[in-house]
Amino acid sequence: MRDSVETRARILKTAEKIFSEKGFDGARVDDIAKEAGVNKALIYYYFKSKNEILETILSNLFQEAKNLLVQSAGNTSDISSEGGYRKLFDAYINFVTRNRKIIKIAIAESAKDDAKPSIVMELGKIIINSEIENIRREYSAKGIHYPDDKQELLVLEFFTGLVPFLAYALYKEQWESLYNVSEEELREAFYRVYTRTHLAAHLP
Amino acid sequence: MRDSVETRARILKTAEKIFSEKGFDGARVDDIAKEAGVNKALIYYYFKSKNEILETILSNLFQEAKNLLVQSAGNTSDISSEGGYRKLFDAYINFVTRNRKIIKIAIAESAKDDAKPSIVMELGKIIINSEIENIRREYSAKGIHYPDDKQELLVLEFFTGLVPFLAYALYKEQWESLYNVSEEELREAFYRVYTRTHLAAHLP
Amino acid sequence: MRDSVETRARILKTAEKIFSEKGFDGARVDDIAKEAGVNKALIYYYFKSKNEILETILSNLFQEAKNLLVQSAGNTSDISSEGGYRKLFDAYINFVTRNRKIIKIAIAESAKDDAKPSIVMELGKIIINSEIENIRREYSAKGIHYPDDKQELLVLEFFTGLVPFLAYALYKEQWESLYNVSEEELREAFYRVYTRTHLAAHLP
Amino acid sequence: MRDSVETRARILKTAEKIFSEKGFDGARVDDIAKEAGVNKALIYYYFKSKNEILETILSNLFQEAKNLLVQSAGNTSDISSEGGYRKLFDAYINFVTRNRKIIKIAIAESAKDDAKPSIVMELGKIIINSEIENIRREYSAKGIHYPDDKQELLVLEFFTGLVPFLAYALYKEQWESLYNVSEEELREAFYRVYTRTHLAAHLP
DNA sequence: AATGAATGAGTGTTCATTCAT
DNA sequence: AATGAATGAACACTCATTCAT
């Protein structure tokens, strides 16, 4: 019973790795099985199809992202203070770093032409909404003016709020090796840049 | 003779479309042939492999991007003026809009684990370098202080300068349909956000 | 478990047949699958490629040929006696008759321009060496003079010792049908000719 | 006109080379075109099909072989004399050496299961018949006994008369490189072996 | 006589998925 | 819960051959 749960988890973890390395279509169920150390047929015992593995992985990301938002909305009493903002930033950076493999998959998949909006857009929507709620609360509490243009706010939150974090997850490793910097150096530079751009745009 | 050039171009254009819709691995050579209205074997008359089609497409993007940079560096006499900056912004937005299909492909491919740096990183590098040159020239001409931290500047240019444009190309259509806005509305909102974040970070 | 071994063997046997009928390049994996009564993909479950099937077949021949030589070298106490020689001849004729399909393949492949020496030449080498050992032992035991010219001996063993047997395997069936003789008639005529030529050359 | 004849001949010569290197089925019309320095379509201007090229090549060999036999039957007044025999041997060795590429093709093709007898068997038949005629004439002129068993004579002529020459053509180059001997050394060793085996069998 | 472009029918190989145990 | 064997449907790529000029 314990074993069975662990096996399923191992399959998911391995699929995550291989999907992120090769892309969903480029990944082979054979490779997942081999690297997870299980028989290929066993994968089909736990999952209906290769596609279901992907959906499971992405929906897990969704759930975790939601949890993070709820949690950070609860924990962060004062976003606009330096320390409060840094805490939030760290929580986000840690999240995208920890989940960077899945985020890569999500981004790659989001490029495809599907009828439904891509997971990244969905993710963006809930993150943005939660963020906007936070901001609105903050702002109104402080009597700060809140931008009138809803569209502009959405664009701000998505393209300069969420997207750089996703790009961070996507290119973190390539960046570190191309420019020969440590994880810390990159994170700190990213923090300074992020505050000078996105955060700055929030202040009046 | 003319026809042959046109046929090759049609194959490339169609591959571009299908790669961007399905991803490289998800795309079928059969589908490219069918949609381009040519015999499948003819594709292999012009290109050694499916992969060579991809490389051709991406290297064309590379070339066009370089040309754009050279051109915009030459044309824009005064980036720091409102009108000058808007011109540059329009040139970039037009470029990523026009080439959005290829950019989608490039981003999706850049997520894969390859030995060499992804095309997006390469693109980032040359764009950044060119940009940094421009900026340095502008700044020194005006006696404005230029940031000391090279890494921070790189991060600024890549994650808040280039990346939002790429994201714009990637999600433009999804955005328009999800939030039910016109291309112009999105572009204008994006312009305002971009000036308030990335451009603002450049001013002292 | 047993079945799996049998299935693999059936694929090999069928490939042997089809390669010998059509030549390696002329043979179709589809045909092998159909005639072996297995799914085409199953062939690739057991063998990495069409080429690996060929290599397996040829290396099996190699092994069997070696076994035959070891065995006949051990069993034949007196090659130079009429009965002893006939026994050896029968063993060889049976071997090439039984393996004639593979021998056809080996010969056809040996005609191609490959970097490495063809399997026929390799086969020739080990057969010749074993044969020469036998002869040398016999001769010295009997005080018979042994040819000085090593090259001449090699040529003798290969072109008039081995080659006629291979040709027998290659053309046996065509011969029987063209000249309308039975297997026995051909074998007996071949025996008389072989003793009058190759064997005679060994006697002083 | 001259050119056209020369072009056709060059195509044939190149096809000969490539068929002998790769086998008929392994050879590519593209490769023949490239190596002959002509456009692929031009090959189909001169020959109906790839198969017709093969047939042309093989039928040329046939013709040349016949010519050789007629000629050698006419020229050689006394086969049974040492000098006469050597002359004949040289003529044959030269023929198979010069035509070794085509002979390789013929042998490889002769391994396939075709309804009609292979070209090697056909070749064998005419050579044998001519040879037998020669021998019979010689023998009766000298009052030497002529073997009663027709089958045995056929086997003798084919398997120890013709076949070693074909094998010589087939393996000459491999032999020279494997045993590191010159063309002359091999030919002389072959001559001595041939006289000690096949020729000896003809003498009472 | 010669060529660049085009094509139909394969051809070896792969892959997600299923079956029997 | 787990596995080795099996399969149908593709799939990228090839190749002999033809067409238009």
Looking at chain D, the number of H-run helices and the number of E-run strands are 11, 0
pLDDT for A203 equals: 67
Nucleotides of F under 7 A from a protein CB: 1-20
Output the CA–CA distances (angstroms, integers) from residue D128 to D19, D120, D169, D170, in the order listed: 27, 12, 18, 20
Contact C171/D at CB under 8 A: yes
Q: Indicate whether C76 pLDDT > 60.
A: no
| Band of pLDDT at residue D117, cut at 50, 70 and 90 | confident
Question: CB distance A112–B174 less than 8 Å?
Answer: no
Q: Indicate whether B154 pLDDT > 70.
A: yes
- Distance separating alpha carbons of residues B169 and A21, to the nearest angstrom: 23
Q: Which residue has the higher pLDDT, A4 or B128?
A: A4
Q: Indicate whether B136 pLDDT > 90.
A: no
Q: Which residue of D35, D149, D155 to mutate against C (max C Cβ within 10 Å)?
A: D155
Host H or E run for residue D101: helix D100-110
Instruction: State, as a whole number of angstroms, the distance between the CA of A152 and the C1' of F16.
Output: 62
pLDDT in tens, C26-35: 999 999 999 9
Which among C117, C107, C116 has a CA at the least distance from the CA of C20?
C107
Q: Indicate whether B81 pLDDT > 90.
A: no
pLDDT for D143 equals: 60
Q: Which residue has the higher pLDDT, B86 or D41?
A: D41
pLDDT for B190 equals: 97
- Distance separating alpha carbons of residues D51 and B99, to the nearest angstrom: 49
- Distance separating alpha carbons of residues B190 and B90, to the nearest angstrom: 11
pLDDT in tens, A30-77: 999 999 999 999 999 999 999 999 999 999 999 998 888 877 766 655
Q: Which residue is nearest to nucleotide E9 (CA to C1')?
A: B41
Question: CB distance A168–B179 less than 8 Å?
Answer: no
| Band of pLDDT at residue B78, cut at 50, 70 and 90 | low
Span D56-74, mean pLDDT?
86
Q: How far is C91 from chain D (nearest CA, A)?
A: 19
Which among A117, A122, A89, A100 has a CA at the least distance from the CA of A167?
A100
pLDDT for B149 equals: 75
List all residues 6 or more positions away from B80 whose beta carbon is below 8 Å from its beta carbon. B138, B142, B203
Q: Indicate whether A78 pLDDT > 70.
A: no
Contact B111/A at CB under 8 A: yes
Q: Indicate whether C148 pLDDT > 70.
A: no
pLDDT for B111 equals: 94
Residues in chain A with CB shorter than 8 Å from the CB of B165 are none
Question: CB distance B152–A192 less than 8 Å?
Answer: yes
Residues in chain B with CB shorter than 8 Å from the CB of A111 are 20, 23, 104-105, 107-108, 170
- Distance separating alpha carbons of residues A42 and A8, to the nearest angstrom: 9
Q: Is the CB of C48 under 7 A from strand E?
A: yes
Within B76-156, residue ranges assigned H as helices are: 82-98, 100-110, 119-142, 150-155
- Tell me the pLDDT of chain B averaged across its residues: 88
C-proximal residues of D, 136-165, CB under 8 Å: 149, 151-152, 154-156, 158-160, 163-164
Q: Residue B15, class by beta-carbon neighbours within 10 Å (0-12 exposed, 13-18 middle, 19+ buried)? A: buried
Point out the nucleotide closest to C42 (alpha carbon to C1′).
F6
Point out the nucleotide closest to A4 (alpha carbon to C1′).
F1
Is the separation of the CB atoms in C11 and C37 below 8 Å? no
Query: How crowded is residue B201: how many other Cβ atoms within 10 Å of its Cβ?
Result: 23
Q: Residue C182, class by beta-carbon neighbours within 10 Å (0-12 exposed, 13-18 middle, 19+ buried)? A: exposed
Amino acid, single-letter form, for residue D94: N
Q: Is the CB of C41 under 7 A from strand E?
A: yes
Within A23-118, residue ranges assigned H as helices are: 29-36, 40-46, 50-75, 82-98, 100-110
pLDDT for C80 equals: 62
Which of D112, D194, D201 lies nearest to residue C23, judging by beta carbons? D112
Contact C110/D at CB under 8 A: yes
pLDDT in tens, A141-174: 766 556 667 889 899 999 999 999 999 999 999 9
Output the CA–CA distances (angstroms, integers) from residue B61 to A23, A70, A83, B67, in the order listed: 22, 41, 43, 10
- Distance separating alpha carbons of residues D182 and D168, to the nearest angstrom: 14
Is the separation of the CB atoms in A50 and A19 below 8 Å? no
List all residues 6 or more positions away from B147 whose beta carbon is below 8 Å from its beta carbon. B153, B156
Span B11-23, mean pLDDT?
97
| Band of pLDDT at residue B67, cut at 50, 70 and 90 | confident
Q: Indicate whether B202 pLDDT > 80.
A: no
pLDDT in tens, D121-138: 988 888 777 777 777 777
pLDDT in tens, C149-172: 788 889 999 999 999 999 999 999
Q: How far is C50 from chain D (nearest CA, A)?
A: 14
Pick from C23-37, C144-158, D57-71, D76-90 the range whose average pLDDT is largest. Answer: C23-37
pLDDT for B74 equals: 65
Dihedral (Cα; B3, B4, B6, B11), 10-degree rounding: 140
- Tell me the pLDDT of chain C averaged across its residues: 88
- Distance separating alpha carbons of residues B148 and D103, to the nearest angstrom: 78
Q: Indicate whether C42 pLDDT > 90.
A: yes
CA angle C154/C160/C164 to nearest 5° reads 130
Which among A101, C193, C111, D2 has a CA at the least distance from the CA of B112?
A101
**Lowest-confidence pick of A10-14, B65-69, B86-90, D110-114:** B65-69
Q: Which residue has the higher pLDDT, D147 or A170?
A: A170
List all residues 6 or more positions away from C186 whose beta carbon is below 8 Å from its beta carbon. C172, C175, C176, D151, D155
Q: Which residue is nearest to nucleotide F19 (CA to C1')?
A: D41
- Distance separating alpha carbons of residues B192 and C108, to the nearest angstrom: 75
| Band of pLDDT at residue A201, cut at 50, 70 and 90 | confident
Residues in chain C with CB shorter than 8 Å from the CB of D105 are 111
Which of D25, D159, D193 lies nearest to residue C25, judging by beta carbons? D25
State pTM to two decimals: 0.92
Percentage of the residues of chain A whose pLDDT score is greater than 90 = 61
Point out the nucleotide closest to A28 (alpha carbon to C1′).
E15
Three-class secondary structure of residue A148 per DSSP: coil
Is the separation of the CB atoms in D120 and D106 below 8 Å? yes
Point out the nucleotide closest to D42 (alpha carbon to C1′).
E2
pLDDT for C144 equals: 59
pLDDT in tens, B91-127: 999 999 999 999 999 999 999 998 788 889 988 888 7
- Tell me the pLDDT of chain A averaged across its residues: 88
pLDDT for C143 equals: 60
Three-class secondary structure of residue C162 per DSSP: helix
Q: Which residue of chain A comes nearest to B159, CA vs CA?
A: A164
Nucleotides of E under 7 A from a protein CB: 1-20
Q: Indicate whether C51 pLDDT > 80.
A: yes
| Band of pLDDT at residue D190, cut at 50, 70 and 90 | very high
Q: Which residue of chain D comes nearest to C109, CA vs CA?
A: D108
Instruction: State, as a whole number of angstroms, the distance between the CA of B47 and the C1' of F13.
Output: 11
Q: How far is B161 from chain A (nearest CA, A)?
A: 10
Point out the nucleotide closest to A42 (alpha carbon to C1′).
F2
pLDDT for A168 equals: 98
pLDDT for C101 equals: 97
| Band of pLDDT at residue D3, cut at 50, 70 and 90 | confident
With touching defined as 3 or more inter-chain CB pairs under 8 Å, the answer for chains C and B is no
Span B132-143, mean pLDDT?
70
Which domains does chain A possess? 1-47 (1.10.10.60), 51-202 (1.10.357)
Which residue pairs, CB below 8 angstroms and at least 24 apart, start in A195-198? Answer: A195/A85, A195/A89, A196/B156, A196/B200, A196/B201, A197/A160, A197/B156, A197/B160, A197/B197, A197/B198, A197/B200, A197/B201, A198/A156, A198/A160, A198/A161, A198/A164, A198/B160, A198/B197
Residues in chain B with CB shorter than 8 Å from the CB of A181 are 151
pLDDT for C111 equals: 94
Span C126-148, mean pLDDT?
70
Contact C170/D at CB under 8 A: yes
